[in-house]
Amino acid sequence: EGLTCDALEWQASHGGGQIIEADGTINVNNPECIAAFERAAGWVGTISPPDVTKYLEEDSREIWQAGNAAFMRNWPYAYALGNSDDSPIKDQFDVALLPDGGGGHAATLGGWQLAVSNYSDHQQAAIEFVKYMTSPEVQKQRSIEAAYAPTIPELYEDEEVVEANPYYSTLQDVFFGEAVARPSSVSGEAYSEVSYLYFNAIHDILSGDVTASEALLALETNLTALTQYEAQSP
């Protein structure tokens, strides 16, 4: 799923769409997508280690935090860990926007939502817990202590929050304007399979097993068959 997040950022930042658009059209097989993933495949073994396609997110963070990588794409929690007292790179790094591929900056929204199950035997208690976790006080605390990005815009102006996370001023526009969402809503119950098909296609491209053009044509066919949505014309 982490590769789905990364690849969606490359795709969107190159102007290649968002896998499945809000109107239900499949949008993966276009020149911008092909260029984005050809570019990413060129990083492997050049500016990224040859075995980077085998890394999990924590593998990447550990290499970076040990001082053995110049750049890393990760979630905000890595900022707090990178600046922890026992970190070799404490106070020696900064956070920047992901590069603009020609279609704007793009950052995939995370998925740590809170919800109350229809089947819960303790719905009221669950509701109160969600209210507590999403309150300004708790969001502020979690942001300061663990670098969790708040969902309340006013907290990005809070002095204590900004002091703990100075990069928020850089990323604020992304959080509230240029973020992209995975197509979970439009895919419905099929989302897990949509993501599976997507990240496997991208992995094959990055591994050099298939060209971007071949992989994306096959992905378009598979997504169309799975969802019964129409593919967007190139």
Same domain, 147 and 198: no
What CATH number did the domain enclosing 220 receive?
3.40.190.10
Same domain, 170 and 201: no
Number of structural domains in the chain: 2
Same domain, 213 and 120: no
* CB-based contacts of 148-156 (< 8 A; 24+ apart in sequence): 148/76, 148/77, 148/112, 149/76, 149/110, 149/175
For residue 178, give every residue at least 6 positions away whose Cβ sits within 8 Å of its Cβ, in sequence order, or none. 104, 105, 106, 107
φ and ψ at 44, to 5 degrees?
-70, 120
pTM for this model (two decimals)? 0.88
φ and ψ at 83, to 5 degrees?
-105, 15
Strand spans (E) along the chain: 19-20, 26-27, 107-108, 179-180
Q: What does the pLDDT read at residue 110?
A: 82
Same domain, 98 and 164: no
Average pLDDT over residues 122-138: 98
How many Cβ atoms are within 10 Å of 10's Cβ, its own excluded? 21
Q: 23-74 pLDDT, tens per residue?
A: 999 999 999 999 999 999 999 999 999 999 999 999 999 999 999 999 999 9
DSSP H or E run through 8: helix 2-13
Same domain, 98 and 200: yes
Same domain, 165 and 197: no
Same domain, 98 and 194: yes
How many percent of the chain have pLDDT more than 70?
99
Same domain, 102 and 117: no
Q: What does the pLDDT read at residue 234?
A: 64
Same domain, 21 and 73: yes
Q: Which of 177, 202, 221 is the last residue of a domain?
A: 177
Which domain, by its residues, includes 105?
Answer: 1-109+181-234
Q: Which of 177, 201, 221 is the last residue of a domain?
A: 177
